């Protein structure tokens, strides 16, 4: 549907979510690398809350953007981005995780925002069709 | 169980919740309060996340994505 044919409230909601996507992406991108969560075996320091996350490389920026119900558990089970980083011979000290809580957003809003962020940032390890 | 579009209704979620063992019901309710989400969203997140760990709702769920099953749900 053309955006001009959408009801006004749908357009306003979409605009608000797009703005949120930009803000969250900025947080994921701009948080100081030293303030991101370092990789570890059990990811004890990563929040167990639902939310957005990104794998960041110290110099190459965002490698992957995702969402999860429980971020700590998501990484403990292994993650494709870490496998790819290993294959690409990235130094584990140069890869970190940055997270933003889901907050009061609905699951559908979170998925919309995730899709929007992937479309904007096009992370190299994010191969899912969004 | 009734759904509207692709989501659990609050009524359906409550019916489901009432059929669960006390400790599971309490766990879901406590988690919902902790993350400040309605119980229907939490139940949906739990089921969607079990079937596809990269999803948090039925809409975004690709059942068994990434699992090594030869036959995937359609």
Q: Say what the pLDDT of residue A94 is.
A: 97
Q: Which residue is listed with tokens 């993350």? A: B35
User: Across the interface, do A111 and B53 touch by the CB < 8 Å criterion?
Assistant: no
Domain range annotation of chain A: 3-121
Q: How far is B11 from chain A (nearest CA, A)?
A: 18
pTM of the model: 0.84
User: Across the interface, do B54 and A77 touch by the CB < 8 Å criterion?
Assistant: no
The closest CB to that of A107, out of B41, B53, B54, belongs to: B41
Q: What is the ipTM of this complex?
A: 0.74
The residue with greater pLDDT, B53 or B64, is: B53
Q: Say what the pLDDT of residue B2 is.
A: 46
CATH, domain range A3-121: 3.40.1440.10
Could you tell me which chain B residue has the CA closest to the CA of A78? B53
Report the alpha-carbon distance of residue A1 to residue A123 in Å, rounded: 27
Of the pLDDT bands very low, low, confident and very high (cuts 50, 70, 90), residue B69 is low
User: Across the interface, do A111 and B59 touch by the CB < 8 Å criterion?
Assistant: yes
Q: Say what the pLDDT of residue B3 is.
A: 46
Is A50 within 8 Å of chain B by CB?
yes
pLDDT tens, position by position, A30-89? 999 999 999 999 999 999 999 999 999 999 999 999 999 999 999 998 999 999 999 999
Instruction: Give chain A positions within 8 Å (CB) of B47.
Output: none
Instruction: Give chain A positions within 8 Å (CB) of B66.
Output: 80
Q: How far is A1 from chain B (nearest CA, A)?
A: 19
Alpha helices in A7-104 (DSSP H): 8-30, 71-76, 80-87
Q: Say what the pLDDT of residue A77 is.
A: 84
Mean pLDDT over all residues of chain A? 91
Is B27 within 8 Å of chain A by CB?
no
Domain range annotation of chain B: 7-51
């Amino acid at each position: 549907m053309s955006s001009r044919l959408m009801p006004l409230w749908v357009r306003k909601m979409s605009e608000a979510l797009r703005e949120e996507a930009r803000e969250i992406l900025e947080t994921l991108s701009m948080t100081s690398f030293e303030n991101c969560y370092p990789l570890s075996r059990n990811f004890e320091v990563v929040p167990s809350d639902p939310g957005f996350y990104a794998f960041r490389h110290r110099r190459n920026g965002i490698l992957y953007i995702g969402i999860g119900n429980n971020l700590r558990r998501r990484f403990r089970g292994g993650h494709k981005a870490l496998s790819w980083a290993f294959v690409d011979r990235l130094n584990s000290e140069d890869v970190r995780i940055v997270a933003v809580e889901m907050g009061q957003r609905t699951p559908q809003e979170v998925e919309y925002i995730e899709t929007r962020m992937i479309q904007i940032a096009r992370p190299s390890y994010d191969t899912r069709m969004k | 169980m009734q759904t509207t579009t692709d989501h659990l209704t609050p009524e359906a979620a409550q019916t489901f919740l009432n059929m669960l063992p006390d400790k599971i019901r309490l766990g879901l309710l406590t988690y919902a309060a902790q993350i400040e989400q309605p119980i229907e969203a939490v139940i949906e997140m739990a089921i969607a996340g079990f079937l596809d760990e990269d999803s948090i709702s039925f809409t975004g769920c690709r059942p068994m994505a990434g699992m090594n099953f030869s036959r995937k749900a359609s």
